[in-house]
Amino acid sequence: MWMLEIPPFVPFFLCGFLAAITRGKLRAVIMLAIPVLSGIHLWMMPEGEFLHFNFLGFELMPYRVDKLSLMFGYVFHIAALMAIIYSLHVRDTVQQVASVLYAGSALGAVFAGDLLTLFIFWELLAFTSVFLVFARRSDRAYAAGMRYLIIQVLSGVILLAGAIFYAGSEGTLLFDYIGLNGVAGWLIFIAFGIKCAFPFFHNWLTDAYPEATVTGTVFLSAFTTKVAVYSFARAYPGTDLLIYIGATMACFPIFFAVIENDLRRVLAYSLINQVGFMVVGIGIGTALAINGAVSHAFNDIIFKGLLFMSMGAVLYMTGRINGSDLGGLYKTMPKTTILCIVGAASISAFPLFSGFVSKSMVMSAALETNHDWVWLMLLFASAGVFHHAGIKIPYFAFFAHDSGIRASDPPLNMTLAMTMAAALCVAIGVYPAALYSLLPFDTGYNPYDATHVLAQTQLLFFSALAFVWLNLMKLYPPELPSTNLDVEWTYRRAFPWVWSKIVLISSTVYQLVARDLLSKIGKGFNYLARKNDDRLSGLLSRDHPAGSMVLWVVVILAAYLILSLFH
């Protein structure tokens, strides 16, 4: 059958354009139809490289389809469709257009076969998604969005610099295995790392995601970090450094998540924790580990989307999202409660839920390659993620003390989107073979043997027991309205403080110099000039600018001389 090879970003960008010029029901129909049609088109797409052309002597390949990119392509379509259904009630052109353009940019990035195309979509991801933060239309959101944009664009600029170095050293721009060799390898690694929320670069995520709109956060959680995970899987599989970075990412955010009050920020921290598992998998680099990383990215998009949707529903219906303000919502929001618990069970990797079938692959791979300490860290992170995302989120929102809020379940479209996500979580958990058949490698892995199931269930139930015990002993830290300092403190508090001090000191010094010293020098010159009957000023020039011009000519010539010496 002859088929047009349309890169998936094209229908999404078209959808963005159509959404901008239509209104109401027509817009809803277009926004629902295009991801579905594009998804069907992608499903029928054979593997291969399409669209080649030359640009300044470099071969560009904007559309490359292989198992790795297809996996992300499928899940991005699913995520886009669910998030669009979730946001059907929104009547905000900026948000709706930005969200489909954002999804399209993510699809463009994962099917990009060369670094230049990747760079373009990398930056488009930043510029389209930031409107989902701005759309909250508050001062806080605006400031958070600007910080997000600066960091994301910085990542893109570093990627471009890396790509230029890469083209210089390798003579090609094709996007394949890069590895940590030379300047290019490191620059691209850092660019990916920033978007992947590596430790010390992670605060853009915990800063901006909770400030975005209810529906915007659902889109945000799906794409940006997963594009970075895909890029690492493509360019840096088997890089040892990633194992240790990933293990750190899996562990440190859970401490912050336990004491964080804003429940969507708790989820943002747990997003970093889940990405940590993927990064470890890519770092190990065996077939099983890469499979684990990719399938965990696939599942994470769905269950993290579900959790963000359920917390979005709480925020939408109650106007509150702080754990200290919520509680007892199960009474009037039973559907949201159950769907949230399904998401919580999935992220905690309970057997029969989706997280289990993918996370266990990464853990097994860590053991097989004798990374004992990494395995222990991941085990701790698994217990920890259950603690903060699996129990804390549902417990403080829907149970705990009764806050007296009596909000009802959210509108039908939101419930429907959450139900779809929950159904997928359970379906993948019960029948993982469907997911495994899409994976890049065939490893014949079976997660459901007695050893795995028992070990994981024991780990989780005793983590829960710890929560119960701590709660009964009143040792569990209560939810408090607060801000917790993180790395962002350096650029939100320390740098501005230091900068303001520098400005203050230098302006004071300048004033002193200008007012006292310069006036004294001026007086001195005036005195000399008067004494010499104005002959002195005529030596260089009667006008001041001409005199200073001579000085600058001297400076330039001197610089030229020095440069020529080094040549």
Partner 1 sequence: MDKKEQHLFDNPKNVKRLLNGFYVICLILFLLDFVIHRHVYHRWENLWGFYPIYGFVGCVILVFVATWMRTFLMRSEDYYQTVNKNKLKTAHQQNQPSGGDENVDA
Range 178-197, binding partner 1 (CB under 8 A): none
Binding status of residue 491 toward partner 1 by CB under 8 A: no
Interactions with partner 1, residue window 196-215 (CB under 8 A):
212-215
Binding status of residue 503 toward partner 1 by CB under 8 A: no
Interactions with partner 1, residue window 263-292 (CB under 8 A):
none
Binding status of residue 6 toward partner 1 by CB under 8 A: no
- Binding range to partner 1, per CB under 8 A, among 72-80, 196-204, 227-235, 491-499: 491-499
CB of 57 to partner 1, least distance (A): 47
What is the 3-class SS of 165-192, one letter each residue? HHHHHHCCCECCCCCCCHHHHHHHHHHH
- Binding range to partner 1, per CB under 8 A, among 72-80, 291-299, 367-375, 408-416: 367-375
Which residues make Cβ contacts (< 8 Å) with residue 481, sequence separation at least 6? 261, 322, 324
Interactions with partner 1, residue window 68-127 (CB under 8 A):
87, 89-95
CB nearer partner 1, residue 141 or residue 362: 141
Which residues make Cβ contacts (< 8 Å) with residue 117, sequence separation at least 6? 60, 61, 62, 108, 175
Binding status of residue 5 toward partner 1 by CB under 8 A: no
CB nearer partner 1, residue 493 or residue 515: 493
Among 33, 181, 241, 331, binds partner 1 (CB under 8 A): 331
Cβ-count burial of 99 within 10 angstroms (0-12 exposed, 13-18 middle, 19+ buried)?
A: buried
What is each CA distance from 76 to 69, 132, 308, 377, 378, in whole angstroms?
10, 17, 16, 29, 26
CB of 264 to partner 1, least distance (A): 10
Binding status of residue 423 toward partner 1 by CB under 8 A: no
The count of chain residues that interact with partner 1, using the rule CB under 8 A, is 81
Binding status of residue 372 toward partner 1 by CB under 8 A: yes
CB nearer partner 1, residue 217 or residue 239: 217
Among 444, 451, 535, 566, binds partner 1 (CB under 8 A): 451
What is the 3-class SS of 230-272, one letter each residue? HHHHHHCCCCHHHHHHHHHHHHHHHHHHHHCCEHHHHHHHHHH
User: Quick one: tokens of 266?
Assistant: 């708790």
Interactions with partner 1, residue window 293-322 (CB under 8 A):
315-316, 319-322
- Pairing type for strands 53-55 and 58-60 reads antiparallel
CB of 538 to partner 1, least distance (A): 52
- Binding range to partner 1, per CB under 8 A, among 4-12, 120-128, 137-145, 559-567: 137-145
549, 552, 557, 561: CA torsion to nearest 10: 170
